[in-house]
Structure formats: C-alpha cells, structure tokens
C-alpha cells in the first residue's frame, strides 16, 4: 500500500503500534528511518522537565473522502447505506480540514549508561508509543516483529516535521500553536459553579445523596478548625476491636447492613481483606495467625512490626486506586522521631502522643465524610484528608480541570499551577460543552518550543 501525508493514513500507521515496545534490540532499517526525523529536530531544545525528550506539533490535511475509505468499504464495514451517510460518516471522523499530531522523540544523553531512542505520536484520541528502542546491544538486520509500519510512518511525517521546524526558525510557530491548537488537545480550568449551573446532574453525582444537614455539619467542623492533628487529642492505648468498632461507626453511617455482625465480622465483610495478618484470614503477604482483638499489647506488636507490609489493612471501603476509602490508625511515635533526629526531646514533650484516626478518600467523598462525622461525633480523635477540597467540591468554590482527550481524566493534579488551588476533579469537553460554556474556560498556555541556545520564556 502506498501512503499519503493525509490524516487517515497517519492514523492507520499509528494505530498499528498500540503498546508497541520493541521488546528486543531494533532493526537497522528502523533506526535508519528514525535518523532523518532526529536530524530534522536536531536544533529543537529539549523539554524543560526532561532534557532527553523534545517534541513539536505537526499539521496534516484530512485529505479527500476516498483517502478515508471507499464507498464500497464503508458499506461493508461501517453500516453505510447511502452516499449521504458515507459523507457524514467521514465528516464525523474528520470534522476539520486538518488534523494535529504531537511528534515526540527521545534519546539518551551522551554520558548516559543506557542507550535508547524513542518516538511517540499523540493524536486527538490517544497517545501512542511507536518506538522504544534499547540500543545497548546495537541493532539487528532482521526482527521477529514487523517494523515496516514504523518505518513508513517515519518517512510519512518527515515533511510535516520539517515544515513545523521551519516555522519555529522563522518565529511564527509558537504564536500559531497558541492561536490555533484545537481544544481537544488543550488543558484548562473552569469554575465548578459554571459546570454545576449548566450540568445539574453533575452536581447531583458529586453530592450523591449527601444530606444538606450532613454537609452543613461537615462544613461547620472544617471551618471551625477542629480538623487539626495537633489538637484532636489521642488514645493512649488501642486494640483491634477499637479499630473494628470505628469501622462499624462509618459503615452504619453509610447505610451498610450490620445485622448480626460483630465489629470484626463487619470489617471482614466490607473491607478490602488484605489485612497483613491482623485477623488471621489472609494469605501470601497478608497471612498470619491473627492477633487477640482485645489485647493492646498484641495490637502494638502488630502495628509497630517493621516487617509488616504489602497489604491494605486500612482500606475499609474497597475500590480502585482513586475510588476507595482508607481509615488509617495513626500514631505519633515520638520516641522514634527523636531517635531519628526529626524533632528534639523538648519538642516531643510538647507534642501529643498516641493513637488517632485519619480518613482519606477524596474521590469517594460521601463515604469519607460520613466516616469522619460518625467517628468524630462518637468522641474519637479523627482528621479527614483533603477536607478543604471536598468542601469546595460541595460548595462549588474550586476549579475543575479540563484535560486533553488523549489524557485519562484521573491523577492529573500535577498538570495545574498552584494558583488555581488543588484541582482534584478532571473532565473532557466536547462540542456541546464548548457551545454552552466554552467562553468561560481559562486555557493554560502551551509549553513553547525553542531552538537550542534560545531562552524559552
């Protein structure tokens, strides 16, 4: 097949390399195909945060409808029945006359022990690693995996890369990107209140049944300053059943069925289960005989065991990496801090010392808030992590982060400057959202490209 520099052909080639990792040393032909790209971008300055990587935007025309598909193929593979549907399908896939791609290359510094070269292409919908070549053992003449699509792709995009580099040398590239980069590639922020006003169902999903009186109680506590580890008091001794009973307070507040369950049974039913030998029901990293649930000496021995690790004993509401709730049992352990030089003995004498609770789960705020309120109202010392962010989410006083379509809208806190506060929720925007409140989005500036030796202001 002969490829043209049009978006459908670029996408066909890029689509061949999902999770492509070059598992062994690469072929000579692929490395030779990379050479012109690296030469074209040789005077491009590396990224500010990674001096072994650099990248530039390229623009590729969508071409004509036949570059996307023939009418016959569209009828066979895309449920197209008429010429009108054929054209509309094409326009749905390629609504703009041009497609943007970010071409990123990477190469080890000359003094590095590791030798490598990499190429990735980012399009509207995803980011694809095309080449991740380990060059420590050189190259080979033939590979057991197909490198031809990568070779073709390197050749195909070279003129577009050279054009963008030409714009950079002429001084027009950064302004053009700033003014024309489509919103699916951009990062921005919007006031949460704006999103709530236009999407009330989004607000309902955030509150997810939290009663007004619960929110008011939570707000009163947090704004009063009681959510402070220095002032909440401590428990001088602790047992496993103290932990299980605290869990039950939270489970009851969340509406969990506790009928005929003891505190330990409720924990075993609803928590993650990987308890590092606490209950004696685990296996592998979590195996162990269990401890006496009413013995504070047994608890201390388990809690301070430095060899205990690998489990999730505090995950009281299981979920994914960002969708679970932890109820930690904390201890100040001042003797250890003094011994390690983290504080003086005088400071330790003035500091509270003992056990307390900490609940964390900003992406499960309903359960987290209810655990916090129930344990606090029972007179036990507890703090809640990310309290201000959770409260701002309910009161709509913070920002929601808008991330590019090729970025999964999770774990994106590091993409936003501190001046916007701590941004903890993220979303994509599409034509509907752009039509409703696109003018209220504050788009962040793109990192500007620069030539080597130039100051990247």
Could you say which of 380, 395, 419 is where a domain stops? 380
**37 part of a folded domain:** yes
* Per-residue pLDDT band at 359 (split at 50, 70, 90): very high
Residues 16 and 127 in one domain: yes
Rounded CA separation 196/431 (Å): 18
Please state, as a whole number, how many other Cβ atoms lie within 10 Å of the Cβ of residue 317.
24
Instruction: Determine, yes or no, domain membership for 157.
Output: yes
Task: Specify if 55 maps to a domain.
Answer: yes
State the chain's mean pLDDT as an integer.
91
Position 401 in a domain:
no
**Cβ neighbour number for residue 362 with a 10 Å cutoff:** 18
Domain boundary among 181, 197, 222: 181
Is the pLDDT at 51 greater than 70, yes or no?
A: yes
pLDDT (tens digit, 9 = 90+) per residue, 138-169? 888 887 777 889 999 999 999 999 999 999 99
Q: Cα torsion for 36, 38, 42, 44, to the nearest 10°?
A: 120
Q: How far apart are CA 428 and CA 267, in angstroms?
A: 37
Three-state secondary-structure class, residue 116:
strand
DSSP 443: E
Confidence of residue 216 (pLDDT cuts 50, 70, 90): very high
Length of the chain: 457
Structural domain of residue 146, as residue ranges? 7-62+97-181
Contact 354, 234 (CB under 8 A): yes
Last residue of a domain, one of 380, 410, 427: 380
Within a domain: 406: no
CB atoms within 10 A of CB 253: 19
| Nearest partner of 273 among 249, 252, 247, judged by Cα | 247
CB 188 within 8 A of CB 444: yes
Alpha helices, DSSP H, located in 199-342: 200-207, 212-224, 240-253, 263-270, 296-303, 334-339
Task: Give Cβ neighbours of residue 260 (< 8 Å, ≥ 6 apart).
Answer: none
pLDDT > 70: what percent of the chain? 97
Residue 107 main-chain phi, psi, to 5 deg = -160, 140
Instruction: Tell me which residue has tokens 């430095």.
Output: 306
Considering the domain architecture, whether residues 262 and 376 belong to the same structural domain is answered as yes
* Residue 350: predicted pLDDT: 74
Residues 164 and 238 in one domain: no
Pair 144, 282 in one domain: no
Q: Is residue 249 part of a domain?
A: yes
Which residues 6+ apart lie within 8 Å of 204 measured at CB? Answer: none
275 in a domain, yes or no?
A: yes
pLDDT given for residue 301 in this prediction: 94
> Across residues 228-237, what is the average pLDDT?
92
124 and 32 share one domain: yes
Pair (23, 165) in one structural domain: yes
- pLDDT at 131 (0 to 100): 87
Residue 5: pLDDT band (50, 70, 90) is very high
Query: Do both 177 and 239 map to the same domain?
Result: no
25 close to 93: Cβ distance less than 8 angstroms: no
Q: Both 274 and 154 in a single domain?
A: no
Number of domains comprising the chain: 2
Task: Tell me, yes or no, whether 38 and 122 share the same domain.
Answer: yes
Does 385 map to a domain? no
Residue 155 in tokens = 């050749």
Reference 252, options 373, 428, 129; nearest CA is 373
pLDDT single digits (tens) 397-448 = 999 999 999 999 988 999 999 999 999 999 999 999 999 999 999 999 999 9
Q: Are residues 38 and 119 in the same domain?
A: yes
pLDDT band of residue 457 (cuts 50, 70, 90) is very low
Angle 177-182-188 (CA atoms, 0-180°, nearest 5)?
A: 90
């Amino acid at each position: 097949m002969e490829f043209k520099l049009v978006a459908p052909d670029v996408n066909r080639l890029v689509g061949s390399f999902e999770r492509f990792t070059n598992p062994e040393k690469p072929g000579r032909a692929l490395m030779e195909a990379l050479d012109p790209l690296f030469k074209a971008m040789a005077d491009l300055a590396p990224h500010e945060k990674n001096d072994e990587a650099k990248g530039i935007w390229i623009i590729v025309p969508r071409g004509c409808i036949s570059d996307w598909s023939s009418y016959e193929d569209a009828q066979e593979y895309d449920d197209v029945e008429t010429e009108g549907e054929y054209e509309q399908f094409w326009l749905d896939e390629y609504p703009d006359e041009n497609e943007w791609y970010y071409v990123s290359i990477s190469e080890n510094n000359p003094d590095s022990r590791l030798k490598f070269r990499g190429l990735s292409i980012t399009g509207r919908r995803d980011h694809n690693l095309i080449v991740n070549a380990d060059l420590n053992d050189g190259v080979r003449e033939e590979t057991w995996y197909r490198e031809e699509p990568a070779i073709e792709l390197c050749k195909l995009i070279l003129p577009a890369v050279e054009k963008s580099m030409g714009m950079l040398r002429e001084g027009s590239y950064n302004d053009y990107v700033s003014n024309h980069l489509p919103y699916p590639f951009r990062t921005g922020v919007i006031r949460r209140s704006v999103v709530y006003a236009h999407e009330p169902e989004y607000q309902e999903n955030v509150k997810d049944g939290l009663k007004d009186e619960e929110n008011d109680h939570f707000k009163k506590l947090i704004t009063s300053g009681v959510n402070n580890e220095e002032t909440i008091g401590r428990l001088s001794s602790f047992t496993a059943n103290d932990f299980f009973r605290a869990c039950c307070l939270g489970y009851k507040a969340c509406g969990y069925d506790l009928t005929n369950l003891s505190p330990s049974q409720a924990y075993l039913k609803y928590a993650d289960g990987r308890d590092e030998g606490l209950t004696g029901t685990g296996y592998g990293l979590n195996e162990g005989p269990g401890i006496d649930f009413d013995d504070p000496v047994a608890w201390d021995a388990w809690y301070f065991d430095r060899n205990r690790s690998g489990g999730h004993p505090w995950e009281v509401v299981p979920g994914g990496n960002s969708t679970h709730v932890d109820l930690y049992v904390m201890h100040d352990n001042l003797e250890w801090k003094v011994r390690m030089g983290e504080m003086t003995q005088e400071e330790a004498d003035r500091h509270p010392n003992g056990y307390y609770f900490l609940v964390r789960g900003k992406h499960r705020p309903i359960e987290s808030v209810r655990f916090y309120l129930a344990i606090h109202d029972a007179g036990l010392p507890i703090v809640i992590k990310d309290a201000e962010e959770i409260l701002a989410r309910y009161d709509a006083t913070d920002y929601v982060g808008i991330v590019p379509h090729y970025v999964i809208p999770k774990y994106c806190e590091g993409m936003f400057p501190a001046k916007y506060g701590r941004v903890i929720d993220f979303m994509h925007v599409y034509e509907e959202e752009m039509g409703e409140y696109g003018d209220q989005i504050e788009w962040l500036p793109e990192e500007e490209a620069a030539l080597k030796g130039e100051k990247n202001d």
